[in-house]
Protein backbone atom coordinates (compact mmCIF):
# COMPACT_ATOMS: atom_id res chain seq x y z
CA UNK A 1 0.00 0.00 0.00
CA UNK A 2 1.36 3.38 -1.00
CA UNK A 3 1.57 5.92 1.77
CA UNK A 4 1.10 9.35 0.27
CA UNK A 5 2.17 12.67 1.70
CA UNK A 6 -0.18 13.92 4.39
CA UNK A 7 -2.40 16.65 2.88
CA UNK A 8 -1.45 18.99 5.74
CA UNK A 9 2.21 18.55 4.81
CA UNK A 10 1.41 19.22 1.15
CA UNK A 11 -0.17 22.49 2.24
CA UNK A 12 2.94 23.34 4.24
CA UNK A 13 5.15 22.60 1.23
CA UNK A 14 2.91 24.70 -1.00
CA UNK A 15 3.14 27.57 1.48
CA UNK A 16 6.90 27.21 2.05
CA UNK A 17 7.98 29.52 -0.78
CA UNK A 18 10.39 26.93 -2.10
CA UNK A 19 12.20 26.34 1.19
CA UNK A 20 13.84 23.03 0.20
CA UNK A 21 15.09 22.29 3.72
CA UNK A 22 11.61 21.40 4.96
CA UNK A 23 10.05 17.96 4.53
CA UNK A 24 12.91 16.31 2.72
CA UNK A 25 11.41 12.79 2.94
CA UNK A 26 8.10 14.01 1.54
CA UNK A 27 9.89 15.80 -1.30
CA UNK A 28 11.63 12.54 -2.21
CA UNK A 29 8.19 10.85 -2.29
CA UNK A 30 6.91 13.62 -4.56
CA UNK A 31 9.58 12.83 -7.14
CA UNK A 32 8.07 9.40 -7.72
CA UNK A 33 4.38 9.99 -7.03
CA UNK A 34 2.32 11.71 -9.70
CA UNK A 35 -0.79 11.68 -7.48
CA UNK A 36 0.88 13.73 -4.75
CA UNK A 37 2.51 16.01 -7.35
CA UNK A 38 -0.93 16.74 -8.85
CA UNK A 39 -2.30 17.56 -5.41
CA UNK A 40 0.71 19.79 -4.64
CA UNK A 41 0.32 21.53 -7.99
CA UNK A 42 -3.37 22.24 -7.26
CA UNK A 43 -2.49 23.57 -3.81
CA UNK A 44 0.25 25.72 -5.32
CA UNK A 45 -2.30 27.25 -7.71
CA UNK A 46 -4.53 28.12 -4.76
CA UNK A 47 -1.61 29.63 -2.83
CA UNK A 48 -0.51 31.74 -5.82
CA UNK A 49 -4.06 32.92 -6.46
CA UNK A 50 -4.52 33.85 -2.81
CA UNK A 51 -1.20 35.67 -2.69
CA UNK A 52 -1.96 37.60 -5.85
CA UNK A 53 -5.28 38.89 -4.52
CA UNK A 54 -5.39 42.54 -3.54
CA UNK A 55 -7.55 44.12 -0.87
CA UNK A 56 -9.16 46.17 -3.60
CA UNK A 57 -10.19 43.13 -5.65
CA UNK A 58 -13.91 43.07 -6.01
CA UNK A 59 -15.82 40.05 -4.86
CA UNK A 60 -17.85 38.85 -7.79
CA UNK A 61 -20.76 36.49 -7.97
CA UNK A 62 -19.85 32.97 -9.00
CA UNK A 63 -20.86 31.94 -12.50
CA UNK A 64 -24.36 30.57 -13.10
CA UNK A 65 -23.01 27.01 -13.44
CA UNK A 66 -21.92 27.10 -9.78
CA UNK A 67 -25.44 27.97 -8.61
CA UNK A 68 -26.94 25.24 -10.83
CA UNK A 69 -24.52 22.70 -9.37
CA UNK A 70 -25.39 23.72 -5.79
CA UNK A 71 -29.11 23.53 -6.55
CA UNK A 72 -28.70 20.12 -8.17
CA UNK A 73 -26.75 18.77 -5.19
CA UNK A 74 -29.33 20.16 -2.76
CA UNK A 75 -32.12 18.50 -4.73
CA UNK A 76 -30.21 15.21 -4.67
CA UNK A 77 -29.80 15.51 -0.90
CA UNK A 78 -33.47 16.35 -0.40
CA UNK A 79 -34.51 13.45 -2.64
CA UNK A 80 -32.34 11.03 -0.68
CA UNK A 81 -33.76 12.29 2.63
CA UNK A 82 -37.32 11.87 1.33
CA UNK A 83 -36.40 8.44 0.05
CA UNK A 84 -34.99 7.39 3.45
CA UNK A 85 -38.03 8.79 5.27
CA UNK A 86 -40.36 7.05 2.82
CA UNK A 87 -38.64 3.73 3.35
CA UNK A 88 -38.78 4.16 7.11
CA UNK A 89 -42.52 4.90 7.00
CA UNK A 90 -43.21 1.86 4.84
CA UNK A 91 -41.17 -0.35 7.15
CA UNK A 92 -42.98 0.91 10.26
CA UNK A 93 -39.94 2.68 11.69
CA UNK A 94 -40.81 5.78 13.66
CA UNK A 95 -38.55 8.77 13.98
CA UNK A 96 -37.68 10.20 17.39
CA UNK A 97 -40.15 12.86 18.44
CA UNK A 98 -43.12 11.56 16.45
CA UNK A 99 -46.30 11.18 18.46
CA UNK A 100 -48.15 8.42 16.64
36 binds Zn ion (CB under 5 A): yes
Q: Do 35 and 4 form a contact (C-beta atoms < 8 A)?
A: yes
Looking at 11-19, 34-42, 70-78, 82-90, which segment touches Zn ion (CB under 5 A)? 34-42
Q: What is the CA radius of gyration of the chain?
A: 23
Q: Which is nearer to Zn ion, 38 or 48 (CB)?
A: 38
Can you tell me which of 11, 33, 43, 47 binds Zn ion, judged by CB under 5 A? 33
43 binds Zn ion (CB under 5 A): no
Amino acid sequence: MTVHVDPAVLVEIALANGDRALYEDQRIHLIGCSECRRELHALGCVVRAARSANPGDLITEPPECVWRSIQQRMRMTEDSQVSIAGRACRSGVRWCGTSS
